[in-house]
Amino acid sequence: MIANLLSIAGSDPSGGAGVQADIKTFAALGCHGMAVVSALTAQNSRGVFAIHVPPAEFLAAQIDAVFDDIRVDAVKIGMLASAANARVVAQAMAARKPRFAVLDPVLAASGGAELGDGGLTGVIVGELLPLVDLVTPNAPEAARLTGFEPAFDIDGLRRQGLALLGMGARAVLMKGGHIAGGAAVDLLLDGVGETIFSTPRVATSNTHGTGCALSSAIAAHVAMGKTIADAVGAAKDFLVGAMRGGGGFQVGAGPGPLNHFWRLWPAR
């Protein structure tokens, strides 16, 4: 049986991140992808230039349309853009109780542009965080959620991850891509123990949408029967290959997209 996966996230018209990246990831891993759009962005490889946030009632209608008709095996939540949208998603998670939900807390673009209103972080922490099975912040996002200074080493990642568990998260994958070092080290904490994932850094400028692809790949692998820890390991392997495969693209003047279909397309 093919798993049905739902992305609730913003749209990236350049195809590198957001629901476009999520759908590509789901498809590349053999799943049926669905998308509920929380925000429309005007962006490309060089940055985000404008954001339009549809009414929260319309976001709720999109979510209801999917769940009322289709079996949803896992949910990936990305950019929500407003406190009202985050509250709608929290209410949907409480009512629909999907088997697995992962939250990639997108609060700012890699170029620094804010991707949410002033109340967004509070609603994520107070209402949405306890309702998802895994949250996948990078160091700057974790700092925003916890109020700590950004982590600069594995111990800092651990402190922030434990703080998020204390704030109600069920499990946390602290992403270490922003931490200096020869390897990309991520830390999975679930309140019982921890698992460290280390992969070599990929020398590439094709990094647009890495967080979207990782969280979506985790959701896909959990929907197909893996444990969270095994899903994270498989998702990391997928991401490394997608980053390496992105070198064959010539898309934009800034950081390019990943090749989500690197296992399916011949090398070029």
Q: Which of 156, 211, 245, 256 is catalytic?
A: 211
Q: Which of 15, 33, 41, 175 is catalytic?
A: 175
- Helix and strand numbers, DSSP H then E, in the chain: 8, 9
- Helix, strand or coil, per DSSP, at residue 138: strand
Q: Give yes or no: 136 in active site.
A: no
Laid out side by side, the sheet with 74-77 consists of: 47-52, 32-44, 4-11, 74-77, 101-103, 134-135, 172-174, 183-189, 194-200
Q: Give yes or no: 30 in active site.
A: no
Q: CA–CA separation, 56 vs 82, rounded Å?
A: 9
Q: Which of 15, 161, 210, 256 is catalytic?
A: 210
Q: Give yes or no: 210 in active site.
A: yes
Q: Which of 212, 233, 236, 246 is catalytic?
A: 212
Q: Which of 176, 207, 236, 256 is catalytic?
A: 207
Q: Give yes or no: 256 in active site.
A: no
Q: Which of 176, 209, 233, 246 is catalytic?
A: 209
Q: Give yes or no: 16 in active site.
A: no
Q: Give yes or no: 121 in active site.
A: no
Residue with tokens 């925003």: 144
Residues 6+ apart with CB under 8 A from 159: 148, 151
What amino acid positions are annotated as catalytic residues?
A: 175, 207, 209-212
